[in-house]
Structure 1
Amino acid sequence: MDNIVIVEYDRQWVELFEQEAIYLRNLLGKASILRIEHFGSTAIPGMPAKPIIDMLVEIPSFDRIQQEALPKLVDAGYEYLWRSDRPPGHMMFVKRSRSNGKRTHHIHMATAGHTLWERLYFRDYLCSHPAEAARYAQLKRDLAAQFSGDREAYTNGKSEYVNLITTKAKLDATNS
């Protein structure tokens, strides 16, 4: 089990995202990857975060990816998980450092319209609202201190806040 460790923002996270996006596009091809977004805390300038790059990949269908891409990703060393926490579920791959085994990337794959894409509203809102981003940063630090050994409790502790801000961000985007 990986402990929750929050570190200060690192500008290198953007480059790590871009490098991984290029690697995935080359490995899987344009037919399997329709779009790639950097999301989560490492995508928000100045935001402290777990040093794990969250990537959201739009795929044409789960069937196609399971047949064509899943074997390539597993052969390349990614760990595969099916996540059912956001209906109808989505594919997730964990990439770890070869030197120390720590998580470096979470690659979430979902079709267009999947609820996971709503997380981009959250990212964009915090990028443009520094006071709200500061509140979120403090929440993350508090939860990491309280649940350093429990990834699920840490994530659950953020859920209400993330859902509230996502709803607000969606309303703001719709009304503008």
Structure 2
Amino acid sequence: MKKLLHMNHNHEYLKKVTIGIPKKHNATIYLSEYDPNWPLVYKQLSKEIQSVLQEKVILIEHVGSTSVPGLCAKPIIDILLEVENSADENQYVSKLESIGYVLKIREPDWYQHRCFKHFDPEVNLHVFSKDCKESKRMIWFRNHLRNNEADRTLYANTKRELALRKWEYIQDYADAKSRVVSNIMSHMEVLS
């Protein structure tokens, strides 16, 4: 499978795609040990999203580290949502806003990605168009980490090491993980 990692951000790019001013972090990253309640939180959030978007939901999945049993994570639920056309914000933004989601990132040059934040509980909602390659990559990576203890441990150790550093933006921490993600993806390609 082709590597479809997100481009590394520079701070100018981050400012360009962020709605409003990007929030500086200037601290280390807090990682929590795996919490078995995370999938339950996702299920509730998924039901809420589906109830407001109804047939507009093409795909909804729990992704990211909170979706992988045994993996440490920032205690933020990552949700992947596919709609027919993520660039057509009129079809879904106001409905998501009605249940507490705030559009924070608009990336027209990267699969028309939109990212919403929800604050109680903390959520990153990633919206892509139907059949997006990045959606497939996210699900594939999640499934691999769920089933491969060695790569899950490698990823966890890298995350813990990087979390000790001070990061100007949280996105900088996410970008720093791209090397280990690329290595795991390369390993996955050999196995497939």
TM value normalised by structure 2: 0.78
Q: Per residue, is there more helix in 1 or in 2?
A: 1
Offset, 1:172: 3.2
CA distance in structure 1 between the aligned counterparts of 2:67 and 2:99, rounded to whole angstroms: 25
1:112–1:166 Cα change, 3 Å: farther
Displacement after TM superposition at 1:116 (Å)? 2.0
- From 158, 164, 173, the counterpart of 1:145: 164
Poorly superposed stretches of 4+, deviation over 6 Å: none
Q: Does the CA contact (< 8 Å) of 2:80 and 2:127 recur in 1? A: yes
Q: Which residue is equivalent to 2:7? A: none
For 1:119-134, list aligned pairs within 5 A: 119-134=138-153
- Give how far 1:152 is off: 2.2
C-alpha distance in 2 between matches for 1:83 and 1:142? 30
Q: CA deviation at 1:76?
A: 2.8
1:6 is aligned to 31
- For residues 41 and 94 of structure 1, what CA distance do their matches in structure 2 show? 17
The residue correspondences of 1:38-57 to structure 2 (distance < 5 A) are 38-57=62-81
Correspondence 1:88 to 2:111: yes
**Could you give the per-residue CA deviations for residues 72-126 of structure 1, whole angstroms, max 9, x where no partner exists?**
22233211033439723311111002xxxxx611111112332321121111111
Q: One-letter code of the match for 1:36?
A: I
Aligned mates of 1:20, 1:86 — CA distance in 2 = 28
**1 CA distance for matches of 2:141 and 2:93?**
28
Q: Which runs of 5+ in 1 are unaligned?
A: 98-102
**Cα offset for 1:147?**
3.0
* Structure 2 residue identity aligned to 1:105: V
Q: Distance in 2 between matches of 1:84 and 1:115?
A: 15
Question: 8 Å contact 1:121–1:169 — kept in the other structure?
Answer: no
Select which of 53, 60, 75 maps to 2:98.
75
Task: Decide whether the 8 Å contact of 1:147 with 1:153 is kept in 2.
Answer: no
List gaps (5 residues or longer) in structure 2: 1-22
Question: Taking CA–CA contacts closer than 8 Å with sequence separation of 6 or more, which of the two structures ends up with the larger relative contact order?
Answer: 2
Task: Write out aligned runs for 1:25-64 (5 A).
Answer: 25-30=50-55, 32-64=56-88
Identity of aligned residues (%): 28
SS in 2 for 1:62: coil
